[in-house]
Amino acid sequence: MTGSSRVWTVVVAAGSGTRFGGPKHLADLAGQRVLDRSVATATGVSDGVVVVVAADQVVDITATISADGVTVVAGGDSRSESVRLGMAAVASDAEVILVHDGARPLADRVLYERAIMAVSSGADAAVPAVPVTDTIRRIGGGVVDRSTLVAVQTPQAFRAEALRQAHDAGGDATDDASLVEAQGGTVMLVDGSRDNIKITNPEDLAIAHTLVAMRSEIPRSEIPRSDTPPEEVSP
């Protein structure tokens, strides 16, 4: 799939989960922690994986992570700082670095391969995206032409040197491709997936359970209702 490239993935899960009501990456999704599902896919396509979590979770996550050969490091006060701390643990000879939100447990191998292929073909960054289907209005009034908009996802893939240079320049963004683009890098959009939802609120976890059930992994009778407090798997 990747030829001679060395591919590494940084899985970012250092947020506090305020809107979720706790660390969402530790919530149970069909018998696995959300984080473990995210990491399992990353390890299947990567030569190395770095997981970034809150400092007080490093010891427990290191001891209980379900995948082999994963490095766990402490994150920072912002997403960009957490990505930079994760990149510090990436091998210096990595050619492609992916950055993935640990709270997107349903990203599949095909999505990773699509992004990696775009970078291998010459892009500095590859971003999975899906069309915006809702009508979007500006707060001050007026409708935005949604045909010019897409919603971006992770994993995002990068030419390693382009990502390192973008982060060396500093800056903070919720989207690493924005930092690369700000440095003059080329960003290619690839097809995302509607199933690749981000767990932000408890309702999102219920939707994820439904999507997993549709993949015939769990009985529908075991899908929790959205008003049921989420269970947390012990780290």
**Interval 169-218: pLDDT, tens:** 988 888 999 999 999 999 999 999 999 999 999 999 999 999 998 876 55
Per-residue pLDDT averaged across 98-120, rounded?
97
| Average pLDDT score over the chain | 89
Residue 2 has pLDDT above 50, yes or no: no
Span of 62-66, 71-75, 115-119, 120-124 with lowest mean pLDDT: 62-66
Residue 1 has pLDDT above 50, yes or no: no
CA 144 – CA 148 distance, rounded (Å): 9
Report phi then psi at 73, rounded to 5: -130, 160
Per-residue pLDDT averaged across 51-70, rounded?
93
Report phi then psi at 213, rounded to 5: -60, -35
- Residue with the bigger pLDDT between 57 and 18: it is 57
CATH tag for 7-222 (out of 3.40.47.10, 3.40.50.9100, 2.40.110.10, 3.90.550.10): 3.90.550.10
Residue 66 has pLDDT above 70, yes or no: yes
Which pLDDT score is estimated for 25? 92
Nearest to 128 by CA among 189, 46, 185: 189
The reported pTM is 0.88
Encoding tokens for residue 133? 């289907």
Query: How many C-beta atoms surround the C-beta of residue 48 within 10 A?
Result: 19
DSSP state for residue 191 in the 8-state scheme: E
Nearest to 179 by CA among 125, 129, 133, 231: 125
Nearest to 205 by CA among 39, 23, 43: 23
